[in-house]
Amino acid sequence: MPTQHIQGLLVLDKPGGITSREAVDLALRWFPPGTRVGHTGTLDPLATGVLVLCLGSATRLTEYVQDMTKTYRAGVCLGARSDTDDADGRVVPADVAVPPVRIALEEGLRGFIGEIEQVPPAYSAAKVSGRRAYDLARRGRDVTLAARRVRIHSIDLLVYDYPHLEIDVRCGKGTYIRSLARDLGERLGCGGYVATLRRTRVGPFRVEDAVSLEAEATAAYAMLLPIAAAVRDLPSVALADALLPRLRQGQGVAADASSASAVAVFDSRGCLVAVARFDAANRLLRPEKVFAPE
C-alpha cells in the first residue's frame, strides 16, 4: 500500500513497561517507511491500555482526540508514598496507626469530583521553564509545578481492602491519575500511589476494540478507522459537493452553523472534507484544516 494512502486512526492496547513513544516506534513496523504516525495522549511506562494513533493526514487531528474524555481503571496502594507517585518510583511506607475506614475513603473520593486544581507529578511531561519536569527531577533538581484546573466527571470505588483499592475514573484532558492517588492519600493522612493503571477508553475508542503490538500487520490494517473518527465530538455539517472545491481552496462557503467553535465538514458520501470555523457575521464556514478525498 503506498505511503500516501495510509491514513486514519488505530486504537492500540499499549503494554506496560514501555513509553508511549516506544509503542509508536514498534507500531511503525506495520507500515511502509515514511508513514507519519503520532499518538494522542501519553501513557506512563507502568500504564497499559488505549493509545490512539493517528496516521498520515490524521496526525493533523490529534488535538481533537486529546480533548476527548478518558476512562481509567486504577489500583491504588495506600499507606505509602512514592517519589514518582506510582510503583515505578522509590516507595516509602507511611506510619499509619489506623487505616482509613470505607466511609472516609468514599467521602475523600467525592471531594475530587468536578473541576479541581491538581498539581502534576514531579516526574511528568509537564514543563518547567521550557524543560520537562521529569528531566529536572531525574537530575536531582527540586521541581515545583503550578496547579492546573482539570475536570473529573466520576470516580467509582470498585474494591477496598486496605491498603489496596481499585477505582474507575472518568476524567477530562490533562488529569493525572498519579496525582489523584497522591492527593487522596494525603487527604486520608496515610499517603498513596498508583500501583496499576489501565486506560480503558478515550472518547468512543475502547480497549476491547484495540489491537495488540503482538498482532500481525494485516490485523492492524484491518482495524484502521477513517480520519473522521477523530472529530466525532465536534458539531458537523454536510455540504453540497458543488461547494467543496471552494472550501478546499481555502475560501469561505455560505452555510448555517450553530457554533463558532470547530466544525467538522463532510461531503455527500460522509467523508471528512475539512475542519472549519463559522464566521457568524458573514454566515460563512472558513476552513482551517482541509483534507484530500479519502
Domains 3-68+204-229 and 70-202 share a fold: yes
Q: Which cell goes with 141?
A: 533538581
Instruction: Give pLDDT tens digits for 43-101.
Output: 999 999 999 999 999 999 999 999 999 999 999 999 999 999 999 999 999 999 999 99
SS3 154: strand
Q: Which residues lie closer than 8 Å to 215 by C-beta, 6 or more apart?
A: none
Rg for the chain, CA atoms, rounded: 22
How many CB atoms are closer than 10 A to CB 157? Answer: 14
CB 255 within 8 A of CB 270: no
What dotted CATH number matches 70-202? 3.30.2350.10
Which residues is 50 bridged to in the sheet? Answer: 13
Taking the domains of the chain in order of start, what are their residue ranges?
3-68+204-229, 70-202, 234-290
Q: 234-290 has which CATH code?
A: 2.30.130.10
pTM of the model: 0.90
Q: Which residues of 13-47 are buried (b: 16+ CB within 10 A; e: fewer)?
A: bbbeebebeebbeebbebbeeebbbebbbebbbbb
The grid coordinates listed for 149 are 484546573
Active site residues: 44
Higher pLDDT, 269 or 259: 269
The pLDDT of residue 128 is above 60: no
CATH of 3-68+204-229, one of 3.40.190.10, 3.30.2350.10, 1.10.260.40, 3.30.70.100: 3.30.2350.10
Taking the C-alpha atoms of residue 203 and residue 186, their distance in angstroms, rounded to an integer, is 30
Which residues in 137-249 belong to E strands, given as ranges? 148-161, 164-171, 192-202, 205-206, 211-212, 236-238
Segment 4-49, tens digit of pLDDT: 578 999 999 999 999 999 999 999 999 999 999 999 988 999 999 9
Task: Please list the residues that pair with 8 across neighbouring strands.
Answer: 55
